[in-house]
Amino acid sequence: MGSWGGKGTVRLGLKGTVDKFSFVRLCENVNPRTGDAVTVRTRAKRTVGYMFTFSVPKSVSLLYGLTGDSGILDAFRAAVGESMREMERDIKTRVRKAGQDSDRGTGNMVWAELLFATASPLRGRCDPQLHAFVFVFNMTWDEQEQRWKAGVFRDLKSDAPYFEAAFRVRMANKLLDLSFRVERKGKNFEIAGIPSDVLKRFSRRTEQIEGLVRERGIIFPKGKAALGPKCRERARGIPHGLEELREEWNTRLTDQERQVVAAVYRRETPSTRQINAEAQAVDHAIEHCFVVREAVVPERKLVAEALRHGLGEVTLENITRELSRRPLVWSEVAGRKMVRLNAH
C-alpha cells in the first residue's frame, strides 16, 4: 500500500492512496490535476527525486508477520511519518535571483510512501520484512518567489546517519509504549526474547548477500549495497496474501519456538527503561566524537551517537535537552549547526 505525504501535496491536491497515474505524471514534472509543468524547467537529465528507506529489525518484522498486529504497523508508520516531517522542515531550495547565490528554507516536500511487509523472494519464498520506500520528488514550493523549484537535498543526505538513528529511537520507544521489551544490538535493536537462531532463519536474503560479499571479497559498503538488486528474484508464482505467507512462516518454527514467540508477543515480562539514560548517552557521545579538545563536529553527528548509545532508553527530545546543559559552544557553518567543547 502507498500514501501521499508532505505539505507540498496539499498545494498539488494529492491525498490518500498513491495512484500510478499521478506518480508517473509527477516523475515527468507534470501536475497530475492540471497537466501543467510543476517546476519551470524540465531537463532531460534532471534528478526526478530521492529515495529514503526505512526498515525495522527482524524481530519486529517477524512478530508483525506472524500476528498481523495493527499496533506494530501503526507504530512503524508513525515513526516513518515523524522522521519524514523532520526532514521536511530542513528542505531548502537554491536562490539565484538578483545576483544571489544562497539556499533558502522552504519547509515543504512531496513524497510517496510505499509500504511492504516482506523481503524480496529467495528460492521462491519470502521472509517477513516490514519496510517502507519513501520517494521524495525533486520539487518544493518557494513561498517568496511563489513558484515550484528543485530542492536542495545535499544536507539531508549528509545527515542520513542522524535521521537513521532518530528513526530507530522513535520506533523503539513506540514499541516500549506497546509494552514490548527492546534491547540494543550494535547500532540497532531487537525485541527481547526471540532466539537469534530463529531470527537468522527468517533472514535468508541477508545471509545470501553476506555470503556473496565473502565469496567476492567485497570490503566497501557501496559494493555490498549494490549486490541486493543484482541477486533479486522475480516474485512470479509466490503467494501474495499475508495469510498464506503466515502459514508458511509458521512451518519454519518448532512447537517450542512458537511458544517462545507467543510469550514475547503476550508481553509477559514488563518493559523497563533506565533512569537518567540521556546523561550517560551524551557522556558517551562527547567522549566518542571529540577526539581532540578543540575538535568541531556537526551537531547531528553528536546527537546521532548519543541516540545510538541510548537506543531503547532515550528520546530525541531528552537527548537535545541534555546536550543544552553541557559546556558546549554552538556555531553555524554553511547553514549547518556545529559544536565544539568549551575551552573553559
Name residues whose C-beta falls within 8 Å of residue 281's C-beta, 6 or more positions apart in sequence: 306, 307, 309, 310, 313, 314, 319, 322
- Mean pLDDT, the chain, whole residue set: 88
Collapsing DSSP to helix, strand or coil, 124 comes out as: coil
Q: What is the mean pLDDT of residues 200-215?
A: 61
Q: What is the per-residue pLDDT for 220?
A: 46
Residue 146, C-alpha cell as written in the block:
511563489
- Give yes or no for residue 105 having a pLDDT over 90: yes
- Amino acid identity of residue 19, one-letter, is D
In whole angstroms, give the CA distance from residue 144 to residue 193.
54
> Of 55, 56, 54, 62, which is closest to residue 197 (Cα–Cα)?
62
In degrees to the nearest 10, what's the CA dihedral of 70, 72, 77, 83?
Answer: 160
Q: What is the per-residue pLDDT for 226?
A: 46
DSSP calls for 231-286: TPPP-TT---SHHHHHHHHHHTS-HHHHHHHHHHHHT-SPP---TTHHHHHHHHHH
- Give yes or no for residue 204 having a pLDDT over 90: no
Q: What is the mean pLDDT of residues 114-129?
A: 85
Name the strand (E) or helix (H) holding 299: helix 299-309
Q: What is the per-residue pLDDT for 148?
A: 96
> What are the structural domains of the chain?
2-158+193-266 (no CATH), 277-341 (1.10.10)
For the entire predicted model, the pTM comes to 0.88
pLDDT tens-digit map of 161-181: 999 999 999 999 999 999 999
Cα torsion 231, 236, 237, 240: sign:
positive
Asked if 25 and 32 count as a contact pair (C-beta separation under 8 A), the reply is yes
pLDDT tens-digit map of 34-43: 999 999 877 7
pLDDT tens-digit map of 229-259: 444 545 444 445 788 899 999 999 999 999 9
> Of 78, 54, 305, 320, which is closest to residue 187 (Cα–Cα)?
305
pLDDT tens-digit map of 304-343: 999 999 999 999 999 999 999 999 999 988 888 999 988 6
In whole angstroms, give the CA distance from residue 5 to residue 3.
7
Q: What is the per-residue pLDDT for 238?
A: 45
Residue 28, C-alpha cell as written in the block:
515527468
Q: What is the per-residue pLDDT for 275?
A: 83
